[in-house]
Amino acid sequence: MTGAAERVPRAPGAHGGEPSLRTWQEPAYSRWAFTHLAELIPTATIARSIAPADATRRLDAFAPALPDLERRLVDSHTDAFLVLRGAEVVAEYYAPGFGRDSRHLLMSVSKSLCGMVVGSLVDDGLVDPERPVVDYLPALAGSVYDGPLVRHVLDMQIEIDYSEDYLDPASEVQTHDRSAGWRPRRTGDPADDRAFLTTLRGSGEVGAFQYCSAHTDVLAWLVERVTGERYPDVLARRLWSKLDADHDALITVDSTGFGFANGGVLCTARDLARVGRVMLDGGSARGGRVVSERWVSEVMAGGDPDAMVDPGFSTAFPRGSYTRQWWCYGNDRGNVGGIGIHGQNLWLDPPSDSVIVKLSVWPDPDTAEWHDLQAAILLDVSAALDTLP
């Protein structure tokens, strides 16, 4: 536990260091690089099946209650829409050029997956939410994380100098993106994602909600620290491998191989619905328990509504809250979800025992108008589920 340079190595070579475009074919690195080349060189998918030329539309179940559902999906730039009630897919829609086997970027729905992984580590006694963050990550001493507890990171209750303005080149979120390899680097940018996290400052006061993507990457770093494994590997072992998923998921990585936990996961709609089922099934999956029933029940019960000071959310959902990387709507149906910019949603509807997945490509990243439109569709579909046989 020696400071900022500490890393969970991506691919330790025989002579130290990490692989690069210059060295990946050398014996010290080739064994790792030959099976992880997509982390070094851009790749294209050779699909196992071809998306149909026309959209897949199977929305008949909702035609009586929501005859305009398809139009609303088109108008909200939907790529994939799926309703899973119990074990049955009762509705499915894919836009032209997109299909059942197509992976889609989840953006910040990725955060909810990270929250489940952390929950599994809490269950196993490897992480204590009541301990200070720097107990696990001493490299963050002197940063805004020097003082807050792990639970404050999970619930995003830290006052931090971090602008989440996705369109402002001067915002911290864009610097974060550049450090993680999502945008072209600029002179003076931190070398990688972890280095960026050590630069964050702010009052560090805790208690009020402030949305900040950096918090999730701190959690992923903590996951690596307590397991000694790379975050993508822990995500696979503790969640994805237990889902009986149709496909591998993907996650973007920075120059050190650190997974972009806050927004970089890609998967199919059907496999994402399986993640939702884990939550509705009390933490269990086909391949075994992912997280404890207690952890899930506390998420589904919601966090502290008094801490939710985000007007964009609390205006629409006055009893809404955020806890453990999940949005809790505080409405009569007890809806809980993962939300990502440009229209990504993993929506849990406990009364109907249903999961709704909506993956979209809004032209704007994050506006009240788009969120209101999306929420209206999800709420109307939830209500319509009550009318199905």
Predicted pLDDT at 327: 98
Beta bridge partners of 253: 259
Which tens digits make up the pLDDT trace of 296-318? 999 999 999 999 999 989 999 99
Helices assigned H by DSSP within 204-256:
214-227, 231-238
pLDDT in tens, 183-217: 999 999 999 999 999 999 999 999 999 999 999 99
pLDDT of residue 2: 39
30, 76, 102, 108: the active-site residue: 108
Residue among 374, 110, 333 at smallest CA distance from 319: 333
- Report d(CA 296, CA 279) in Å as an integer: 6
Local confidence band at 5 (pLDDT 50, 70, 90 cut-offs): very low
Residue 354 annotated as catalytic: no
pLDDT score, position 1: 39
* Average confidence (pLDDT) over 276-296: 98
Position 14 confidence tier, pLDDT thresholds 50, 70, 90: very low
H-helix or E-strand containing 326?
strand 326-328
Running DSSP on this structure, what letter comes out for residue 54?
S
Residue 43: band (very low, low, confident or very high) from pLDDT cuts 50, 70, 90: confident
Angle at 245 between CA 279 and CA 74, to 5 degrees: 80
Mean pLDDT over the full length of the chain: 93
| Contact call for residues 201 and 161 (beta carbons, < 8 A) | yes
pTM: 0.94
Question: Percentage of the chain surpassing pLDDT 90?
Answer: 85
Residue with tokens 């639970």: 151
Q: Per-residue pLDDT tens for 79-127?
A: 999 999 999 999 999 999 898 999 999 999 999 999 999 999 999 999 9
Summarised one tens digit per residue, pLDDT across range 243-267 is 999 999 999 999 999 999 999 999 9
- Burial degree of 153 (CB within 10 A; 0-12, 13-18, 19+): buried
